Amino acid sequence: MQLLPGLLWLLVSGSAALEPISLSIVIGAASVLTGYLSYPSFYCGFVECCPGEADRPNTTALKEDLDNKLFGQHLAKDVILKAVTGFRNNPNPKKPLTLSLHGWGGTGKNFVSQFIAKSIHKAGQKSKFVHLFIATLHFPHEHQITLYKDQLQTWIRGNVSACARSVFIFDEMDKLHPGLIDAIKPFLDYYEQIDGVSYRRAIFIFLSNAGGDLINKVALDFWRSGKDRKQIQLKDLEPVLSVAVFNNKNSGLWHSSLIDKNLIDYFVPFLPLEYKHLKMCIKAEIEAGGKKINEAIVDEVAKEMTFFPKDEKIYSDKGCKLVEQKLLYYWERL
């Protein structure tokens, strides 16, 4: 490694420096330099590379993100960490990892998709191997579903060919035209290869508000019966959630073959957030902005948010979605 500066000088310092040196030495120096520059670890220090077989997900960072930036979601934390870690540590997965995240806005679904992406690719959602599709932006017109299906298949095929560990995130699944998502069914299935390309190491993440009402009802029933929300288990929600989404005409997964053929590995419920979780979000936003926590302001911001049900006012109806905007009014007082 220490030879690099000298070799560079040797090759660029001009003919006068080269005269006393034999041609074989110059050729040897050039060969060493070329090999050094083409070495993967050197090259990938300047250009983003697709993770190889020896690369493992940054599960420590994933756990820290889930612990420190996701509030009130014990189910999601547990499922996501185990699912992503287990999948990436599996040397021979039989199919891509497919996660469907459900819950009202502001409960942390987008946050979690970013955490997953960052655990696989250091640049997170800025990575060229992480691809975000937004239903209302990328697939707005119902009469063009056939075109969208062709484009989607071409896009996924091309990107997985470039990087087997590509991550695909589909946001606003509840606004996606029914039937469109079935175009990717072959890529999520148990095929070893399709036209010479294996999709088994890719990750697909669906984000949806669909099923949020059902999740909220279960959480509220637990609260009314005096049970702690941490007693809610995945088995209390996942089976009924998949059925509810499958039969919901306002869901992009309505009568989808992805559910019918059991190709979605986990339906992950995001619970509605209580007042205490809202305060956690406010404090995290303040600290992220480099300010000190002011409990009085935290309480003021939290009280400005709206809650449901109308009588009990237990859960934030927008989760943490408006926290950043609400804090702007108080920012100079922090």
Residues making up the annotated binding site for ATP are: 103-110
The annotated binding site is made up of: 103-110
Distance CA 137, CA 139 (A): 6
